Structure 1
Amino acid sequence: MKKPNFFFIGAPKCGTTAMANWLQEHPRIFMTQRRKEPMFFDNDIFNPDRMSLKQYESLFRKADDDHLVVGEASTSYLRSLEAVQNILEYSPSARFLVAVRNPVEMAPSVHAQLMYTQHETIADFEEAWQAQEDRVQGKRLPSNSRNDPASLMYADVCRLGEQLERLLGQVSRDRVMVVFMDDMKADSRRVYLDILDFLGVPDDGRSDFPSANVRKRVKLPVLGKMLAYALQYKRLLGLQGVKTGAFLKLHAWNEVPMARTEPDEQFRKELIDCFEEDILLLGELTGRDVSGWLR
């Protein structure tokens, strides 16, 4: 078994699922398949399904000498205060990939994802945003989010400049690559080749770059909860990698695309004011002109 030496650590809703899928299909790269986001190293983030070291390392048992890079993708690691240090203790020479986007666009996308997974119960994003102060005090929390209220603190989750600064305080810049979602949309192949170059892996000629994890909602919340409970029981039984046709068909049937809704001018200004300092920090850390995000 090879130990992982590459970690795609975030951020959520920044194109990470699509990029992880692209890398997973490269013949010289091994990415975890049975569990897309192991969430093993973020001990400060609530995870009822946390694995033992033996279970975690079993995810990589099929990695062999043909794989130049062995990795995993857990988007919670970037916002975790402990994950990077834990990773470095486990894999001292690890390399890190980070995907970022405009937090003003990221925050409502994170909210939509939490609505889909039913960890959020306030359907209107502006109302959920205004509820953050109450939630810090333990109020207005969904019953299944009481152990991880931090996931509902959208302002904190989306402060990518602060999170990247913390990462760069622990890891040298030559071992960190930052990808902007804007670039991924504009020229996916160019971004893909840059990532392969960063990892030291040859081009496999990929020309198709499908998107993934697009914004969606559930038709029937009750069915969504039943499927979530079923998945949890599978994990408790050690069957998280087992995929049944009926299970997947029910999941697919219960999903429908979710239309994007833009915040009104006043609320958008509130979001920009909240993230302005962090946006400027991200631009400074990456050498990127992100002033357009403030307009």
Structure 2
Amino acid sequence: MSGTSVQPNFFIAGAPKCGTTAIASYLRTHPNVFISEPKEPTFWASDMPKLSSQIGINTLADYERLFANASGKAAVGEGSTMYLYSENALPDAYAYNPNAKFVFAFRCPAEVAHAYHMQMCFYEQENEDNFSTAWQLQDARLSDDTLIPNRCLSKKLLQYRYVAALGSQIERALTIIPREQIHFVVLDDFAHDPLKCYQNLLRFLELPDDGRTEFPKQNAAMKAKSRVVTRVLRSRAVREITFWAKGKLNGKAFDFAKQLKNRAMFVNAPRDELDDAFRLELHRYFEPEVAKLETVLGRSLATWNNPRAKSTN
């Protein structure tokens, strides 16, 4: 156990492309909540160590400094989407704080895999723009490191079938963390009734209603405006300036500065359409994962097995 007086007591722990950025953004403005900057330190995913080291988080002391300004906040958290996928993150984070609460967000696994591939291309960790081709490369990439792009921080990140195996991941999470310390958010539900889902989340975190009624879309599908500009704005020096600015600026000013940075980096862009045969292949592949999620949630997710039905983008 750490000797720090402030440590995270909740984790938005996955999955990628399932609304975690929006959830963190909404919670960040709550007067009783502190969210780390960066939102995804990924410290506990020690099986993919470059994810945290590349942003300068190498030790527990580095990690805990992210929460140095959280004193007095009832809910102190972070939102690393790889924690659900990581082999080490959940058991280690739970051991660090056995009283912590965990939020897991998910959507149709086939849609997760597709959206996540686009994100990996945006971050230049994937060099195969065609998702069907990248999907077919998964087995070869496990055994041939020459097929891994130079900028990729872990070849595990290119295993789309495993990143999106949400049913299996949730089943495993339930063997590590007590059920009462877990809250599930289905992205489709959030899109349909964001206020109800947000208030359910506040109750889980034992927070009072902050009166939020607007839920702007966050982290939409995107492409880089300029790879050079994007690389500069993602550099360690800029991240350190961002961390410093977070302690100096009020919440609204900091959020505005982040919006300006994001506008300079990327432009929203729709995901490429998949051909019918490959879309059918994806949905059939993930049917067992959907069935596992149905069992955990106690509800039907049958539309997720329909290759013609898209969940929230």
Q: Same-fold call, TM > 0.5?
A: yes
| Unaligned segments of structure 2, at least 5 residues | 246-253, 307-313
In the alignment, what sits opposite 1:51? 58
Conserved? CA contact 2:233–2:265, under 8 Å:
no
Rounded to whole Å, the distance in 1 between the matches of 2:259 and 2:208 is 34
Q: Secondary structure at the match of 1:277?
A: helix
Spell out, residue by residue over 1:21-75, the C-alpha distance to the aligned partner (whole angstroms, 9 max, x if none): 111111111211x32111111111132333321221121122233x221111111
Relative distance call for 1:173 and 1:124 in structure 2 (3 A) is same
Give 1:220 deviation, angstroms: 2.6
Q: Secondary structure at the match of 1:144?
A: coil
AA in 1 matched with 2:64: E
Q: Secondary structure at the match of 1:60?
A: coil
Rounded to whole Å, the distance in 2 between the matches of 1:112 and 1:213 is 12
Spell out, residue by residue over 1:196-251, the C-alpha distance to the aligned partner (whole angstroms, 9 max, x if none): 011111101101111111111013334433443xx13455xx55514699998575
1:14 equivalent in alignment to 2:18: yes
**Counterpart mapping for 1:115-264 below 5 A:** 115-138=121-144, 139-145=146-152, 147-228=153-234, 231-234=235-238, 239=241, 241-242=243-244, 252-264=263-275
Rounded to whole Å, the distance in 1 between the matches of 2:231 and 2:68 is 32
Conserved? CA contact 2:118–2:271, under 8 Å:
no
In the alignment, what sits opposite 1:2? 6
AA in 2 matched with 1:265: D
In the alignment, what sits opposite 1:26? 30
In the alignment, what sits opposite 2:100? 94
In the alignment, what sits opposite 1:289? 300
1:271 equivalent in alignment to 2:282: yes
Q: Secondary structure at the match of 1:281?
A: helix
Rounded to whole Å, the distance in 1 between the matches of 2:236 and 2:34 is 25
Rounded to whole Å, the distance in 2 between the matches of 1:242 and 1:15 is 26
Conserved? CA contact 1:141–1:149, under 8 Å:
yes
Relative distance call for 1:246 and 1:3 in structure 2 (3 A) is closer
Segment of structure 1 superposing worse, 41-50 or 112-121: 41-50
Segment of structure 1 superposing worse, 68-77 or 50-59: 50-59
Rounded to whole Å, the distance in 1 between the matches of 2:109 and 2:285 is 10
Conserved? CA contact 2:17–2:115, under 8 Å:
yes
Spell out, residue by residue over 1:162-208, the C-alpha distance to the aligned partner (whole angstroms, 9 max, x if none): 11111100111111011100001001110000000111111011011
AA in 2 matched with 1:68: A
AA in 2 matched with 1:252: R
AA in 1 matched with 2:7: K
Rounded to whole Å, the distance in 2 between the matches of 1:182 and 1:215 is 16
Rounded to whole Å, the distance in 1 between the matches of 2:207 and 2:227 is 43
Rounded to whole Å, the distance in 2 between the matches of 1:90 and 1:250 is 33
Relative distance call for 1:220 and 1:62 in structure 2 (3 A) is closer
Relative distance call for 1:224 and 1:64 in structure 2 (3 A) is closer
Spell out, residue by residue over 1:234-287, the C-alpha distance to the aligned partner (whole angstroms, 9 max, x if none): 55xx55514699998575234122123332221111101211111111111111
AA in 2 matched with 1:24: R
- Residue 108 (structure 1) aligned to one of 98, 114, 136: 114
In the alignment, what sits opposite 2:76? 70
Rounded to whole Å, the distance in 2 between the matches of 1:70 and 1:247 is 20
Rounded to whole Å, the distance in 1 between the matches of 2:150 and 2:122 is 15
1:60 equivalent in alignment to 2:67: yes
Q: Secondary structure at the match of 1:260?
A: coil
Conserved? CA contact 1:118–1:225, under 8 Å:
no
AA in 2 matched with 1:161: G
